[in-house]
Chain A
Amino acid sequence: MRYTPNSATVVRKMLQDIGLGSMAELYADIPDALKLSRPLQLGDGLTEMSLRGHLKTMAARNISVEDMPCFLGAGAYDHYIPAVLEQMLQRSEFYTAYTPYQPEISQGILQSIFEYQSLICELTGMEVANASMYDGASALAEAGIIACSVTRKLRVIVSETIHPEYLQTMKTYAKSGHMEIVTAPAKDGVTDAEALLPLIDGQIAALVVQQPNFFGNLEEIGRLEQAVHAQKGMLIMAVDPISLGILKSPAEWGVDIVAGEGQSLGNPLSFGGPYLGFMAVSEKNMRKMPGRIVGQSLDSDGKRSFVLTLQAREQHIRREKANSNICSNEALNALTASIYLTVIGPQGLRKIALRSHQLALYARDNLLKRGFKIKYDQPFFREFIVSCPDPAAINEKLLQHGIIGGYELQDGLMLAFTEKRTQSEIDRLIAVLGGELHA
């Protein structure tokens, strides 16, 4: 299959037209010694029909959450994706465009980003959001860097209750020397405030917490927020946007930077990506934020219009003085989030959050009734851990019964519940678990 429109005859004519005898002459500037002396070994090209067959076979080697109910979460959630999304996202004016550098021809994309920024602000209660980051982990890492830049300090204290992959990512970014990561221990599935408070001193640039945290539990932030701000540090919070249908917004917790994973807003699981990193800050830190930001302005006729703004922060202007190197981002995933929120509406978000929570409660109560132990006795949102000695074996057994089980921890299985799950699926889950576990 080829996607080049010019036939061999046309190509010959074009070459002639510009005074060349062959394609090879187009590479006269590459020294022969550097040229590949053989064809690439990628095989023959496939026709679309063969390619389709091949890809279908390959996809069929995976089990998807369409085949089996899925109780996995841990940072990626199987929420329902309304049909409108697939249709709208296939409008190729959106997906075959690039960054809206030229506003006159890109108003639709710019407006959609402006609306996305507004929606993220509404959810989080913050004042300014950017046009997106790569994912939750890298967004959080960049949030840490911002805090160091704003406070001119290096120490970022990270609660061990955040997603372990977020912590690992932050540690990688910290190898730059632009921040230092200190971890604060967990106790009973939440941040151990008693152990953490003494760590908060004049050296702190930021404290990083996740709400709900990696284990699904809710973090009591109040005392921590006061302690961090008393030392002029910044409070950074990773949040799950779906939870904001019922949970207190980061702004209400006094957060300075919100950074998180927006996959759950209509983005398919897609084996881990592309997802949506989002970031929002208070207005005074707007000029420290990385990435694209769309602003509203007027055109020369006085019409409302949108344009990339505050670009003096970005790599193409600031070059080696830029705090972030982000250029391409996750714009289509941001658009996905906007369309998703538009389709489900304000009540829909609340209903989805509530149903997820209620199904999780239903599962927990029934597990307790059957004698299972729930690892932590904390308020949670839609995820909790059931204690068990060999989670891998249990997952295998669940699979044999047509269920994608939970996230394997050392001594427990973390189960996630979305509005897609049903009581009967949960009953089935518990029936399969039954007997095996209450030792």
Chain B
Amino acid sequence: MPKLLIEKNVPGSNAFALPPCDLNMSPLEDSIPSQFLRQDAPRIPELSEVEAVRHYTELSHRAYGVDDGLYPLGSCTMKYNPKINEWAARLPGFAHVHPYQPARTVQGCLQLMSETEKMLCEIAGMDRFTLQPAAGAHGEMTGAMIIKAYHTHHQDHKRTKMLIPDSAHGTNPATTNVVGYKVVELKSNADGLIDLDDLRAKMDDEVAGLMLTNPNTLGLFEKDIDEIAKIVHGGGGLLYYDGANLNAIMGVARPGDMGFDIVHVNLHKTFSTPHGGGGPGSGPVGVKAFLADYLPMPLIKKEGEEYSLDYDRPLSIGRVRSFYGNFGVIVKAYAYILALGSEGIRDACEQAVLNANYLRIKLRDDYHIPFDRLCKHEFVATSRKQMEESHISTLDIAKRLMDYGYHPPTVYFPLIVKEALMVEPTETESRERLDDFIAAMQNIAQESRKTPDIVLSAPHSTVIKRIDEVQAARNPIVRW
């Protein structure tokens, strides 16, 4: 069990120093009155450099990333993160540039952002993008704010509701609340798609818009999207595309061509930027031309060969954060799109869909797959068989997968499927890797029948066993 940093505190061991400097200084109290000064130093642990390095190295040994193996975490698109992109974001001309430097000293940064915007427009079929939002949910908020600004600008003050499918990711309803709209939930039909009759019944002049993921969170393409768009637009609403699943259609179809007015894309999913153990991400938002005036400011402007920041946007919803976006993440996405090019983008998409269908078909004998038909980049299985046979839950299967050396799929989401196991292999897994994973899943299915205890008490090979999560929440210890 690794010690905490604070337990490694050795006074006098830290040798960090600043270069000598012969400023002739008077006491601090002469320049800062004592009521502003700290009396007790913060209790930061003191470690030598080598011990600091060992501490974090030890922690890294207790973590699992895409570089360690298959990471089929559905909805998160855990694809390989190309190493050249890491190099690129660390170039001093990108990494060590201050956001307020004069425009003429940051032409490369602005050009990179402008070109990224253009490429995202082409991929999503939109007219303009802001790169400001820091993640998908932040993009959703930005997009929903744009919807609000649009209706307000058109004196349409009645619209207070947002339609959200019952299969939606939690951020969609949460975003709706965060921007001050009410959620009206849309039912999924027996095919796992939006129930058009339910949509017709709920679409009225109080509805501001519909937020939709396509393919949806079951990995199924909403084939009636044309009709959905007609119903929403016919009722005066706007159509929002949650781009978490763009990997499934990029190069093949575009949200902008399906009638979506606003999209966000997740650079940390579709465009290969690493997930960082939880972030940073980046959630650019694209709109059709008629909504461009509402985008957050500033946008990037190009006049002749000169790039600049355009703050003169009176209808803009304003800022959603400081500066211009998670630039370091944007650099990596830009490099990725350039590396792949038109063909590579489509190839990535196709192989992601192929890998998902390959897994789905190979697993269907052992696992219940509620919507067992052509899927896109991911599919949802369940533990129904194992539950019936031996009371083995999705969580048990997830835990057992770790013993086989895998990060488990997303579990218990989407909510409309009981005991969901959401599997997204991504395009960067080889057939050998997929076959190994299939074998592991088959083994677990067999164990569930023959030796269920080994599954129920999994994991066995991880650094810790299952945790008492209830106790953690009831009696929170959240700091040393």
Contact = CB atoms under 8 A, between A and B. Distances in A.
A318 B174 contact: yes
B49 A52 contact: no
Contact of A330 (B88, B177, B280, B476): B280
Interface centre among A4, A94, A222 (most CB of B within 10 A): A4
A274 B177 contact: no
Interface string B41-78: 11111110100110111111111111110010100101
A328 to B, nearest CB: 4
Interface centre among A48, A105, A330 (most CB of B within 10 A): A105
Contact of B467 (A90, A247, A299, A325): A299
Given A34-B258, A93-B64, A362-B23, 12 more contacts: A40-B123, A93-B63, A111-B59, A115-B5, A122-B42, A128-B479, A270-B89, A275-B323, A331-B279, A332-B276, A379-B33, A399-B105
**How extensive is the interface on chain B, given as a class?**
35 or more
Interface in B240-290: 249-254, 257-258, 268, 272, 274-282
B201 interface: no
Given A34-B225, A328-B275, A342 B5 contact: yes
Interface string A295-333: 111111101110101111011111111111111111111
Contacts of B218: none
A2 B427 CA distance: 10
B154 interface: no
Contacts of B5: 115, 118-119, 338, 342
Contacts of A27: 252-253, 353
A407 to B, nearest CB: 6
A319 B32 CA distance: 47
Contacts of B38: 244-249, 252
Contact of B4 (A41, A111, A292, A362): A111
Interface string A96-128: 111111111111110111110111011101011
B280 A4 contact: no
B107 interface: yes
A88 interface: yes
Interface in A265-298: 268-275, 286, 292-298
Given A62-B94, A137-B319, A320-B174, A327 B135 contact: yes
7 contacts: A3-B82, A26-B357, A42-B342, A248-B35, A271-B324, A327-B170, A342-B5
Contacts of B4: 111, 114-115, 118
Interface centre among B170, B175, B317 (most CB of A within 10 A): B170
A40 B343 CA distance: 8
Given A98-B278, A269-B99, A108 B106 contact: no
Given A331-B276, A332-B277, A273 B43 contact: no
A257 interface: no
A109 B323 contact: no
Nearest to B183: A320
B471 interface: yes
A95 to B, nearest CB: 5
Contacts of B112: 58
Interface stretch (B13-21, B378-386, B439-447): B13-21
The 7 closest A-B CB pairs, nearest first, are A272-B323, A59-B93, A45-B341, A331-B278, A96-B65, A332-B276, A61-B108
A209 B456 CA distance: 52
A347 B18 CA distance: 11
Contact of B326 (A60, A274, A354): A274
Contacts of A3: 79-80, 82, 272, 339-340, 348, 427-428
A16 to B, nearest CB: 11
Interface stretch (B202-210, B231-239, B457-465): B457-465
B454 interface: no
Interface centre among A2, A59, A169 (most CB of B within 10 A): A59
A273 B278 contact: no
Interface in A154-189: 163, 165-166, 168-169, 171-173, 175-178
B365 interface: no
Interface in A5-28: 5-6, 10-11, 13-15, 17-20, 23, 26-28
A224 to B, nearest CB: 13
Interface string B88-111: 111111111111111001111101
A273 B35 contact: no
Nearest to A63: B105
B319 A168 contact: yes
Contacts, number: 681
Given A6-B351, A134-B135, A138-B134, A295 B476 contact: yes
B49 A63 contact: no
B111 A97 contact: no
Interface residues of A, number: 207
A37 to B, nearest CB: 10
A75 B317 CA distance: 22
Nearest to A15: B354
Interface centre among B277, B346, B469 (most CB of A within 10 A): B277
Contacts of A33: 226
A178 B97 CA distance: 36
B170 A317 contact: yes
Contacts of B179: 175-176
Interface in A340-357: 341-352, 354-355, 357
Given A26-B354, A175-B145, A98 B275 contact: yes
Contacts of A347: 14, 16, 46
A419 B337 CA distance: 38
Interface stretch (A66-74, A195-203, A429-437): A66-74
Contacts of A210: none
B479 A114 contact: yes
B458 to A, nearest CB: 9
B464 A103 contact: yes
Nearest to A348: B16
B279 A332 contact: yes
A270 B106 CA distance: 11
Contacts of A35: 252-253
A275 B282 CA distance: 12
A93 B65 contact: yes
B32 A379 contact: yes
Interface in B104-126: 105-109, 111-112, 119, 122-123
Interface centre among A105, A271, A359 (most CB of B within 10 A): A271
Contacts of B177: 320-323, 325
A106 B467 CA distance: 12
B350 interface: yes
A63 to B, nearest CB: 4
Given A91-B57, A270-B327, A274-B326, A42 B178 contact: no
Nearest to A347: B14
B357 to A, nearest CB: 6
A123 B372 CA distance: 53
B431 interface: yes
A31 B253 CA distance: 10
Nearest to A293: B478
Contacts of A98: 71, 73, 76, 78, 275, 277-278
Contacts of B145: 172, 175
B278 A131 contact: yes
B253 A320 contact: no
A104 B462 contact: yes
B423 interface: no
A2 B344 contact: yes
